[in-house]
Amino acid sequence: MTRIGSVPGSQHAAMLGLGAYRPSRVIPNAEVVDAIDSSDEWIQQRSGIKQRRWANDEESVQMMSVAAARDAIADAGIEPAQVDCVIVATVSHLLQTPAVATMIAHELGTERAAAFDISAACAGFCHGMALAADMVKGGTAKHVLVIGVERLSDLTDVYDRGTAFIFADGAGAAVVGPSDEPGIGPVVWGSDGEQFELIRQKEDWRDVLKQEHPSMPHLVMQGNPVFRWASFEMAKIAQQTLDRSGITAEDLDVFVPHQANMRIIDAMARSMKLPAHVQIARDIAEQGNTSAASIPLALARMVEEGTAKSGDLALLIAFGAGLAYAAQVVKVP
Amino acid sequence: MATTDEIRADLADIVNEVAGIPADDVQMDKSFTDDLDVDSLSMVEVVVAAEEKFDVKIPDDEVKNLKTVGDAVAYIERAQNG
């Protein structure tokens, strides 16, 4: 009997570099309040958001991704040609086929790296990190580029009081590669499709085209049930993630939850009883909710500002439409 | 079984912890939104904490009917007896 050969992987995988791209348009609350008959005070009280970043016409999903990826590749100290897989987590690349990852891999100058997109909405980046770590350990790839990117401004109904002030644009990227010791802990992930109505694209594209005046099917969300699920159910997932990595909240340096809403971040931290020394990501105040991009953007800001340092243990937890979620403990590169 | 005032007092502690409102202000005739400034997201936190404290279920659909502290106390009493 002929046996199929196999290739060894690295014993451990780690995040080797991090990059971010924040689009150029800074949109203060004052610019979104008229369409939703609201106020700066109400938005800040409801979400902690002071301003958000929206992309201009040149800042496409591909352009923002390439910019963030170049930063991450340089931070990792490798060449683009060493990247052998590109995973892009996004729900807002409106050219559905081919995967934007293929064009990003080409523009970066990889050597025909494997490239594909994944759809896990706000949980996308942590899904990508889990895949990348397993690929490196399984010998499938040596350096995997994971990108979380969104242009949610294209999919936002500016007249919807529930979402108009929340969603934003941007890109974050990480290089995952081989390491001498564990740098990415086991993922805790899952989904609850029974609750798919809570956050969704409003209509199927086929239904849009049947309308007399077709218009963009915006993202819609039921805020209070999502708040309940995210604040309390996800706090339990966060604890399970620490347990699976064999650490406690005391060992943690940094907490980077998906930047959905400052109220969710605060409620999660309260519910988890996080020790006071743990630094909590609060990028949402300046950046808005960028779905798949929010975790790498938030971590990048903490590294820039010095609240997260190389070697720190960070708990990443991402959650959103689906209701899909994924979480892991990582070492800050 | 807890008395009505014991439930109100425990609920007042929860409202204090979630929203920082003095527990003495949390009286039966007070409206969560109009009198106590508890917004809908804080109300979700209050409800989840109350579910744990009183070992009852308060579904999302019911929360909008709990306008006053008295409404919430009465719901919890019914749920505990039911």
Active site residues of A: 122, 258, 289
Cα–Cα distances in Å, from B57 out to A12, A124, B50? 44, 32, 9
| Confidence check: pLDDT of A240 > 80 | yes
Tell me what the mean pLDDT of segment A244-266 comes to.
Answer: 97
Interchain CB distance below 8 Å, B41 and A227: yes
CA–CA min distance A44, chain B (Å): 13
- Phi then psi for residue A191, to 5 deg, are -155, 165
| Confidence check: pLDDT of A136 > 70 | yes
Residues A188-231 have pLDDT tens digits of 999 999 999 999 999 999 999 999 999 999 999 998 889 999 99
Nearest residue on chain A to B59, alpha-carbon basis: A225
Interface test with A, best of B37, B41, B43, B57 (most A CBs within 10 A): B41
Question: A168, A52 in Cβ contact below 8 A?
Answer: yes
Residue in A45, A46, A228 nearest the CB of B44: A228
Tell me what the mean pLDDT of segment B33-62 comes to.
Answer: 91
| Confidence check: pLDDT of A284 > 80 | yes
Q: How confident is the model at residue B2 (pLDDT cuts 50, 70, 90)?
A: confident
Pick left, alpha or beta for residue A34 (phi over 0 → left; psi -120 to 50 → alpha; otherwise beta). Answer: alpha
| Confidence check: pLDDT of A172 > 80 | yes
| Confidence check: pLDDT of B64 > 90 | no
Q: How confident is the model at residue A313 (pLDDT cuts 50, 70, 90)?
A: very high
Residues of B in contact with A225 (CB under 8 A): 60
Interchain CB distance below 8 Å, B44 and A227: yes
Is A178 touching B (CB cutoff 8 A)? Answer: no
- Identify the burial level of A316 via C-beta atoms within 10 angstroms of its C-beta, where 0-12 means exposed, 13-18 middle and 19 or more buried: buried
CA–CA min distance A328, chain B (Å): 25
Residue in A45, A232, A263 nearest the CB of B48: A232
Cα–Cα distances in Å, from B60 out to A253, A267, B41? 35, 18, 12
Residues A25-58 have pLDDT tens digits of 999 999 999 999 999 999 999 999 999 999 999 9
Residues of A in contact with B41 (CB under 8 A): 46, 223-224, 227, 263
Tell me what the mean pLDDT of segment A178-194 comes to.
Answer: 97
Interchain CB distance below 8 Å, B48 and A228: yes
Is A231 touching B (CB cutoff 8 A)? Answer: yes
Percentage of the residues of chain A whose pLDDT score is greater than 90: 98
Question: What are the DSSP calls for A130-157, one per residue?
Answer: HHHHHHHHHTS-SSEEEEEEEEGGGG--
Nearest residue on chain B to A231, alpha-carbon basis: B45
Q: How confident is the model at residue A93 (pLDDT cuts 50, 70, 90)?
A: very high
CA–CA min distance B44, chain A (Å): 6
| Confidence check: pLDDT of A127 > 70 | yes
The whole-number pLDDT of residue B61 equals 85
Whole-angstrom Cα distance, residue A218 to residue B49? 33
The whole-number pLDDT of residue A151 equals 98
Tell me what the mean pLDDT of segment A101-129 comes to.
Answer: 97
Is B48 touching A (CB cutoff 8 A)? Answer: yes
The whole-number pLDDT of residue A275 equals 95
Is B24 touching A (CB cutoff 8 A)? Answer: no
Interchain CB distance below 8 Å, A224 and B60: yes
The whole-number pLDDT of residue A307 equals 97
Higher pLDDT, A223 or A258: A258
| Secondary structure class of B76 (helix, strand, coil) | helix
Interchain CB distance below 8 Å, A224 and B45: no
Computed over every residue of chain A, the mean pLDDT equals: 96
Computed over every residue of chain B, the mean pLDDT equals: 91
Angle subtended by helix axes A262-272 and A40-47, to nearest 10: 30
CA–CA min distance B18, chain A (Å): 9
Interchain CB distance below 8 Å, B41 and A224: yes
Taking the CB of residue A239, how many other CB atoms lie within 10 A of it?
18
| A to B CB pairs, distance under 8 Å | 23
| Confidence check: pLDDT of A134 > 80 | yes
Interchain CB distance below 8 Å, A46 and B41: yes
Interchain CB distance below 8 Å, A232 and B41: no
| Confidence check: pLDDT of B82 > 80 | no
The whole-number pLDDT of residue B1 equals 66
Whole-angstrom Cα distance, residue A14 to residue A330? 7
